[in-house]
Amino acid sequence: MHTNPFDDDKLREECGVFGVIGTADAANFTALGLHALQHRGQEAGGIVTHDATLGFNSVRRFGYVRDNFTSAKVMEHLPGDLSIGHVRYSTAGSKGNTALRDVQPFFGEFSMGGAAIAHNGNITNANSLRKELIGRGSIFQSSSDSECIIHLMARSLQQNIPQRMEDALRRVEGAFSIVAMTQTQLIGVRDPLGVRPLVLGKLGDGWVLSSETCALDITGAEFVREIQPGEMVVITANGVDSSYPFRPAPPRFCVFEHIYFSRPDSILGGQSVYETREAIGRELAKESPVEADLVCPVPDSGTPAAIGFSLESGIPYAMGIIRNQYMGRTFIEPSEQIRNMGVRLKLNVNRALIRGKRVILVDDSVVRGTTSRKIKEMILDAGAAEVHFRIASPPTAWPCFYGVDTPDRDKLLAATMSEEEMRQHLAVDSLKFISLNGLYRAIGGTDRNSAQPQYCDACFSGDYPVIPSDQISSGFQMKAAE
């Protein structure tokens, strides 16, 4: 599958997870939940169910949820009142050349019964674990780091599956929010730092686990609470059993979930994602004001921040760039010529609005800078007098190893250029990023605690809360201690 050139210049979340127990046709609710989480992974998806009579069933497919899990013929293969699902965007493993065997959820048959597991995050010691497990006789079916968890569970001597999962996850380093299932249990686990989100909802007499609250809304489930960092919940017909099996640590939730990954209609840490992004835009306007005629978002991820920038600056907000909502990822396959059209397939400038104006473009991030340059060229071609970029995140100068598809460090514009050098490279009238402290103020009201940061912000700061041991053994160099 060819990727969209507009999407290539964005950081991409690895995946979304969803599970439901205690409701008839659980797979249908899981498909709805995955549809709401589609922004977290568009490459492939899978659903596993359990039925008391027919046992475990699984369907895994490439492509969008809407193209695979809306078919009655497919869904009739997924009976039962217990189900989990996963949408994927590859970060570990085959990196965009996914085989069907890499698509989650993964399933394992143990002496005490079967279990399926769906994982959001990245295991930073997966290579060393895989080497050890293969040396002991494990046979891997996929290239995914998540499969290590199944093999570690198989080797555990504990008496039940939740205990085996605890055992396995104590060996794992990195980030994991997991939704898993046995014949009778729905299990949710978050790593001790709580890097990736996971929430609990109530659906009639049943229960739901989801990466984000927006997936609860689509299924009609009521938000109950977030699963806490380091918490494991085991949900049965008798209710929710909670435990904290890991050594406690100060939480380091991914700050980019607030900036870009999560849907704006979700709630994170009790805060509206939309309102947080609007506050980031307001802070950006305070830090980096500029005289201009219009504030325009780079759609759609820059929209809430652009509204905040407009409200704070008093400069009118305008839809200067229009997004074509119907351009699928496969539309750009037929020819190299069409692929080279790139951004123009997805975005078009509102020429009548832009002509002769000094335009502030608000975007969520600059990664490689390729899309930013093309958008700037489109704005100037439409007759804009000036183009000013305002970015609702600090410069992305370090790769993420916790479940985000990030280019190598030398491909990140901010890793090799100063802000002024980036401005010259993009050939814009001005370029300003929100400061790291400004970002923290917009999200939580206080500056960053440099001794113990409130969030994982390694992509901006190089301050990795979990040492990426596999990457270091492959030659990655951490930031020198200051």
Active-site amino acid positions? 15
Is 457 in contact with 463 (CB distance < 8 Å)? yes
Residues in Cβ contact with 49 at an 8 Å cutoff, skipping those fewer than 6 apart: 26, 27, 30, 56, 57, 58, 78, 79, 80, 82, 83
* Residue found under tokens 């609702």: 392
- Per-position DSSP letters for 135-151, written without gaps between them: HTT----SS-TTHHHHH
| Distance, CA of 406 to chain centre | 11
Angle subtended at Cα 8 by Cα 349 and Cα 273, rounded to the nearest 5 degrees: 75
Strand pairing category for 253-254 and 455-456: parallel
Q: CB 42: neighbour CB atoms within 10 A?
A: 20
Measured CA to CA, the distance from residue 400 to residue 460 in angstroms comes to: 10
List strand residue ranges (DSSP E) for 133-258, in order: 174-181, 186-190, 199-203, 206-210, 222-226, 232-236, 239-243, 253-254
Measured CA to CA, the distance from residue 53 to residue 123 in angstroms comes to: 35
- Nearest CA-CA partner of 426 in 364, 361, 352: 361
Beta bridge partners of 201: 208, 223
Strand pairing category for 82-88 and 55-62: unpaired
Dihedral pair phi/psi, residue 322, rounded to 5°: -110, 130
The 8-class DSSP code of residue 2 comes to P
